[in-house]
Amino acid sequence: MTKLYLVRHGETVDNVHQIMQGQTQGELTPHGIEQAEMLRDKFFGEPVDAFISSDLKRSVDTCAIIAQPHGKEVVQTALLRERDWGDFTGRYIPDLKGLDFPENVESLDALKRRAADFLSFVRSHFPNQTVVAVGHGIINKAIQAVYHQKTMPEIPRMTNAECRILLVEN
C-alpha cells in the first residue's frame, strides 16, 4: 500500500487576483511560501520516500520547499498539471460566471483519465512507499473523484497548501 499525501500548491499571485491560471506557471506569494514552509515543517519528521510535483512552477516551488529537509529530488510530471482552461486562461474569474465553456477547455473525461493515469503512475513507480504529491485544485479533485469513485462535485474543494491522504492499493 502506498501512502499518498495529495497537496495543493501554496497561494499564488493569480489566486489573490482571481485570475484563471490553468496551465500557466504561476508565482507563489510570500504567504504561499509561508504555507509551503508550514508543510515542510509538518513533514520534517515524516519518513517520505518520494516527492512528486506538477511541472508547473507554483507546484514545483511548493514541493521543493517541502522536500528540502529530506534532501530528495522532486519528480515532475505533466499528469499533475492543472486543468487546461483554454481561452478562459488568464481571465478574471468573476467575469466568467454564466459563460459557456470554450471548446478548447479540457473535458472532465480527459481530466479524469489523466487523474487515473497519475494513480497508475504512483502504483507502478512508488509501491509501498510514502509519497508527497503537489498538484492543483481541479486535478487534485479529479484524482480524489477517481480514487473514491465519486463525481467531481462530491469532492470538497482543496484550499491552498491543503493536504489529503489517500492509501493507494498496489
Catalytic center residues? 9, 82
Q: Please enumerate in sequence order all residues whose Cβ is within 8 A of that of 148, keeping only pairs 6 or more positions apart, or say none.
A: 154, 155
Largest CA distance in the chain: 47
Which residue, chain included where needed, has cell 495543493? 8
From 163, 147, 165, 158, select the one nearest 7 (Cα to Cα). 163
In this structure, the number of other CB atoms found within 10 A of the CB of residue 134 comes to 33
From 16, 55, 54, select the one nearest 35 (Cα to Cα). 16
